[in-house]
């Protein structure tokens, strides 16, 4: 029995995307929360909570994109052709946010407000574009032969735009729960107050998407409500309710600092698992599987050698950076 290279690479890419959503989600969420925090000193603290790690978080996005290019070239070409506009908008948002991140610390007081607005705009644009990409991906792509056969604006739909707004809510909750870990005093209490309404908003988003998706995608409805997928899917809504109850309770417990963030990560993972059940085993929805889109085994095997070397290094570096900069942020600390 040989090694199932397409499946291994499918898992690597899914893992990379999940790591990106988890790790870049909370620092994008901090930018989304900026309009709700007016004090310049509090904004300094918020930015300092991610200053040492934010750029490393995007390593996982590069990893996922490179893996898709080498292991599943058909999916790479179709997805990039179909989603060229929202992906470009996302990259512009990430670049603008990164520039604002660095320039804000070096700007004079009179110019800092401009970079604050730039940081907010870049965070919102990048997050909303990622949500639109997710919604368009679920909608699927028309393919003829080995080429995308859609139109340039197929990615615009009520469902994809709603997914964009939904991801804004999810990232904002991630940002608030991260700040519960890293901050103290007035800012900590502000984040605790925001966590509950953001959780309610996220639950509403998840409920709407859970109803909207099977009603508009017959193939996804069949996957959800036929065995064996039904047995995998049934625990998801129950776990969402249990985790949400625990998060609602822990958001206001004075000694609960890490629990809200961990529980929010579990909610994100549950949403991600629902997405996986919806499209499995397709990498190009609605009907091209990851095996049909895969590159030759020789290419995947060659890449796997490099991936097995680089992924542990990224994980070790990520763990070490978060370990070194653990704990609460001192308001007197500057940019790392």
Cα–Cα distance for residue pair 270/95, rounded to 1 Å: 29
| SS3 assignment, position 83 | coil
Quick check: 235 and 274 in contact, CB under 8 A?
Answer: no
- Surface-to-core class of residue 333, CB atoms within 10 Å of its CB (0-12 exposed, 13-18 middle, 19+ buried): exposed
pLDDT, residue 75, reads 87
Please report the DSSP string for 86-126 in residue order: HHHHHHHHHHHHHHHHHHHHHS-HHHHHHHHHHHHHHHHHH
pLDDT, residue 262, reads 92
| SS3 assignment, position 283 | strand
Tokens of 325: 């900069």
Cα–Cα distance for residue pair 27/22, rounded to 1 Å: 9
Tens-digit pLDDT profile for the chain (336 aa)?
Answer: 468 888 899 989 888 888 888 888 888 999 899 998 888 788 888 888 887 777 777 788 888 888 888 888 888 888 888 899 999 999 999 888 888 877 877 767 777 788 888 889 999 999 999 999 998 888 888 888 777 878 888 889 999 999 999 999 999 999 999 999 888 888 889 999 999 999 999 999 988 988 888 877 777 777 777 777 677 777 888 888 999 999 998 888 888 888 899 999 999 888 888 777 777 878 888 778 888 888 888 888 898 988 888 889 888 988 888 888 888 877 666 554
**Where in the chain are the domains?**
5-325
| SS3 assignment, position 69 | helix
């Amino acid at each position: 029995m040989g090694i199932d290279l397409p499946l291994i690479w499918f898992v690597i890419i899914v893992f990379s995307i999940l790591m990106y959503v988890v790790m870049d989600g909370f620092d994008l969420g901090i930018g989304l929360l900026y309009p709700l925090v007016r004090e310049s000193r509090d904004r300094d603290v918020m930015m300092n909570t991610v200053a040492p790690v934010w750029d490393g978080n995007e390593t996982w996005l590069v990893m996922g994109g490179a893996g898709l290019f080498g292991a599943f070239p058909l999916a790479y070409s179709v997805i990039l052709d179909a989603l060229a506009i929202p992906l470009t908008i996302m990259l512009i948002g990430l670049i603008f946010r990164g520039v604002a991140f660095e320039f804000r610390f070096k700007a004079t007081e009179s110019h800092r407000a401009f970079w604050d607005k730039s940081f907010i705009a870049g965070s919102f644009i990048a997050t909303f574009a990622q949500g639109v990409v997710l919604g368009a991906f679920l909608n699927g792509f028309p393919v003829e032969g080995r080429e995308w056969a859609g139109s340039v604006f197929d990615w615009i739909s009520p469902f994809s735009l709603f997914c964009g707004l939904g991801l804004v809510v999810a990232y904002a909750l991630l940002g608030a729960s991260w700040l519960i870990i890293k901050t103290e005093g007035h800012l900590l209490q502000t984040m605790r107050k925001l966590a509950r309404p953001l959780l309610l908003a996220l639950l509403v988003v998840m409920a709407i998407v859970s109803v909207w998706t099977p009603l508009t995608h017959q193939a996804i409805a069949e996957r959800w409500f036929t065995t064996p997928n039904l047995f995998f899917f049934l625990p998801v809504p129950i776990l969402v309710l249990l985790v949400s109850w625990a998060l609602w309770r822990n958001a206001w417990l004075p000694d609960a600092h890490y629990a809200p963030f961990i529980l929010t990560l579990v909610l994100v993972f549950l949403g991600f698992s629902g997405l996986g059940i919806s499209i499995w085993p397709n990498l190009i929805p609605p009907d091209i599987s990851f095996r049909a889109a895969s590159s030759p085994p020789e290419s995947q095997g060659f890449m796997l050698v490099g991936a097995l070397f680089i992924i542990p290094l990224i994980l070790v570096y990520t763990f070490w950076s978060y370990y070194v900069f653990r704990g609460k942020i001192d308001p007197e600390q500057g940019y790392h």
